[in-house]
Amino acid sequence: MKTTSKILKALLVMGLTLSSLTAKPNTGTNETVMIETEKIIKESVKFPAICLTSNQKVEILFTTDQKGDVNFVLAKTENTILKKEIEKQFTGMHLSKLKQDVVHSVVLNFKTI
C-alpha cells in the first residue's frame, strides 16, 4: 500500500513537472509578431541627448485598442523628462499586430557612449 502511494506521488510530481515544461503563455503573439513590433518601436522612438545622461533601463507598459493604436502607456523610470518623452512617442504609435486590451511590456536599455 505504501509503495503504491509513493509511486502515485512520484508519477503526479513527474506529470506536473512535464506539463509545466510544455506550457506556453497564451498571449496571442508569436515570434514573428514580436520581432516586427520591436522593429517598429526601434524605428519610431527617438530621444534627445538631454534625456540620456547615463546608462538607463526603462520598462514600458502599454495597451492597444481594436485598431492597433496605443491607448495607454506607462514608462517606469525616475527620469521625468525621459518618462514624458517615451509616453508621448508611444501614445502616437500604431501596433496593429499585437493583441488588443492586453498589457504589453518592453524594456529599453540606453547606453551613453
Give the model confidence (pLDDT) of 65-86 as tens digits: 999 999 999 999 888 888 898 8
Instruction: Collapse the DSSP code of 98 into the 3-class scheme (helix H, G, I; strand E, B; otherwise coil) and give the result.
Output: coil
Buried b / exposed e across 86-107, counting CB within 10 Å, b at 16+?
bbebbeebebebbeeeeebeee
pTM: 0.65
Per-state percent for the chain, helix, strand, coil, to nearest 5: 45, 20, 35
SS3 call for 105? strand
CA atoms within 13 A on the CB side of 103: 6
pLDDT in tens, 11-23: 333 333 333 333 3
